[in-house]
Amino acid sequence: MTKRVYNFSAGPATLPEEVLNKVQGELLDYKGHGMSVMEMSHRSEPIKSIVDETESLVKELLNISDKYKVLFMQGGASSQFYMIPQNILKPDQTASYILTGSFAKKAYEEAVKIGNIKVAADMKAEKYTRLPNENELDFDSNNAYIHLTTNNTIYGTQWGSMPETSGIPIAADMSSDIMSRPIDMTNIGIIYAGAQKNLGPAGVTLVVIRKDLMENVPESLPNMNRYDVIAEADSLFNTPPVFAIYVMKLVLEWIKNMGGLNKIHEINKEKANYIYEVIDESDGFYKGHAKKEDRSLMNVPFRLKDEDLEKRFLQEAEKNELVGLKGHRSVGGIRASIYNAMPVEGCKALAEFMKDFCQKNK
Ligand SMILES: *Cc1c(COP(=O)(O)O)cnc(C)c1O
Do 253 and 264 lie in a common domain?
no
Residue 65 lies in a domain: yes
Do 56 and 118 lie in a common domain?
yes
Residue among 73, 74, 78, 82 whose CB has most ligand 1 atoms within 8 A, to mutate: 78
Residue among 79, 97, 149, 153 whose CB has most ligand 1 atoms within 8 A, to mutate: 153
Domain that holds residue 152: 17-257
pLDDT of residue 360: 97
Residue nearest to atom 5 of ligand 1 (CA): 77
Residue nearest to atom 13 of ligand 1 (CA): 175
> What is the CATH classification number for the domain harbouring 322?
3.90.1150.10
Do 292 and 331 lie in a common domain?
yes
Residue 5 lies in a domain: no
Give the Å distance between the CA of 78 and the centre of ligand 1: 6
Do 277 and 242 lie in a common domain?
no
Residue 174 lies in a domain: yes
Last residue of a domain, one of 223, 257, 291: 257
Do 289 and 236 lie in a common domain?
no
Residue nearest to atom 1 of ligand 1 (CA): 175
Last residue of a domain, one of 257, 272, 287: 257
Give the Å distance between the CA of 77 and the centre of ligand 1: 5
Atom of ligand 1 nearest to the CA of 153: 15
Report the distance separating Cα 225 and Cα 222, nearest Å: 6
Do 214 and 283 lie in a common domain?
no
Do 145 and 227 lie in a common domain?
yes
Do 265 and 251 lie in a common domain?
no
Do 86 and 102 lie in a common domain?
yes
The structural domain count of the chain equals: 2
Contact 331/155 with Cβ under 8 angstroms? yes
Residue nearest to atom 14 of ligand 1 (CA): 175
Do 232 and 304 lie in a common domain?
no
pLDDT of residue 2: 86
Do 34 and 159 lie in a common domain?
yes
> What is the CATH classification number for the domain harbouring 77?
3.40.640.10
pLDDT of residue 100: 98
Give the Å distance between the CA of 361 and the centre of ligand 1: 35
Give the Å distance between the CA of 194 and the centre of ligand 1: 6
- This prediction has a pTM of 0.98
Residue nearest to atom 7 of ligand 1 (CA): 76
Contact 282/358 with Cβ under 8 angstroms? yes
Low-confidence ranges of the chain (pLDDT < 50): none
Do 244 and 104 lie in a common domain?
yes
pLDDT of residue 140: 93
Atom of ligand 1 nearest to the CA of 150: 13
Beta strand residue intervals within the chain, DSSP E: 6-7, 68-73, 94-99, 116-122, 143-149, 151-152, 157-158, 170-173, 188-194, 205-210, 287-288, 299-303, 322-323, 334-337
Residue of 240, 163, 155, 232 lying closest to 206 (CA atoms):
240
Residue among 79, 100, 103 whose CB has most ligand 1 atoms within 8 A, to mutate: 103
Full 3-state SS string of 234-253: CCCCCCCCHHHHHHHHHHHH
Last residue of a domain, one of 257, 290, 321: 257
CA geometry: angle 313, 202, 192, nearest 5 deg: 105
User: Any residues with Cβ below 6 Å from ligand 1, and which?
Assistant: 11, 76-78, 103, 149, 153, 173, 175-176, 194
